[in-house]
Structure 1
């Protein structure tokens, strides 16, 4: 598996709860390393790297500059899927809808918020 050029690592209060949530949406959670004290997990989507989740207190210890940063983010992440309509129909009852499906520049987008306040925008896969 090849990691992308930029790999998001989200601080979360409960790594297992975050993994459970994303697994309901079709992700696969893997251990992030061999250290049992390191609570980082790698999440795959359709077999490819998508993001990492890391217990917030461990992340704040790892990078003290984040010690006062709240969980959640100002911004959003995008998840590109093969079949937009089918995926949105599948996850809609499992998520908190932030902004319902809209079309922008010819592309459908559906926004939801995960249990930790991160906003995810679902889009159709495309080639740049």
Structure 2
């Protein structure tokens, strides 16, 4: 299960690994939010991803990292770090399961997605129910 492939590839490209950006909770949390929303839209046939909004959100995370003093190369390296990507995907999967959407459960993903949209959460704002 790959959470972030399309959006991350579109938003930020690759370079050598960064050790510090992974510790920025605001950045990693934002990537987890995007991953959860992407997975919900991928599994639930009744909910689409708001791709432009997702891309805009990812670009805002990149901008925030730049404002924190990270170079473009450091940001790109963090996004390309496969080990970090796997860690974030695991966190996103665990959170999604804790919300009631276990892997392969279409109804659970749809229910979580509709709940997030109704609550107007960061996840919900990245989703568009049909």
- Please classify the TM superposition score into its range, dividing by the shorter chain length: under 0.3
- Which structure has the highest helix share of the two? 2
TM-score by length of 2: 0.25
- Which structure has the highest strand share of the two? 1
Q: 1 or 2 for the larger relative contact order (CA 8 Å, sep ≥6)?
A: 2
The structure that has the greater radius of gyration is 1
TM-score by length of 1: 0.25
